[in-house]
Structure 1
Amino acid sequence: MTDTLKLILEDTDGTQLETSCTRVAVMWQGKELWIQQDGRGQLLIGVDVEEGDAEYANLLLRPLATNLVSLQLEMEPADLSDDEDGEEGHVHGPDCNH
């Protein structure tokens, strides 16, 4: 498997441009929505969170029809309080699965 995405970009007049990349982002509701392939045939979709953001982004995927899904972006307040270990908030690391 490869981690390269083959993109087809289409203008409003229907003109298509084919290209490829490793990751692509779409600005959606003021956030960067990143799409990439993981090399095992799975498509990964995530939202970048900036340092100091007061909200987390949740992506909700719902089936609409046989070949359609709805993707919704919801913002949820971030818990910036101390955790049980006395550390301030959550620190993202390679093992946190975020």
Structure 2
Amino acid sequence: MSDALQLILEDTDGTQLETSCTRFAVVWQGKEVWIQQAGNGQLLIGVDVEEGDTEYANLLLRPLATNLVSLQLEMEPADVEGDDDHVHGPDCDHDH
């Protein structure tokens, strides 16, 4: 299985452009929402956190219908003083 994602980009007039990449981002509400293949047939979706951010984003996925979902971006205040209760793990995206 290839790590490349096959993309179809469509303009407002319906013109389509096909391309491929290993990951891509959509700038949504001022944040980069990155999408990439997980290697096991799943997609990874994440929001980059910049140094000095006072908020971090939560992605909420809700079913709408049989073949539709809603993806919502919610901003939550970040604890800029540090979170003593945070347990570092392989998925926390912190440099250890």
Decide: shared fold, TM above 0.5.
yes
Aligned-pair identity in percent equals 79
Q: Which residue of 2 aligns with 1:95?
A: 90
Q: How does 1:16-95 map to 2 (within 5 A)?
A: 16-84=16-84, 95=90
Gaps of 5+ in 2: none
8 Å contact from structure 1 (residues 55, 77) kept in 2:
yes
Deviations 1:32-57 (A, max 9, x none): 01011011111011000100100110
Number of aligned positions between the proteins: 92
State the TM-score, normalizing by the size of structure 2.
Answer: 0.86
The alignment's C-alpha RMSD in Å is 1.9
TM-superposed CA distance for 1:81, in Å, is 2.3
CA separation of 1:76 and 1:18: change in aligned 2, threshold 3 A:
same
Q: Which runs of 4+ in 1 moved over 6 A?
A: none
Q: TM-score, normalised by structure 1?
A: 0.84
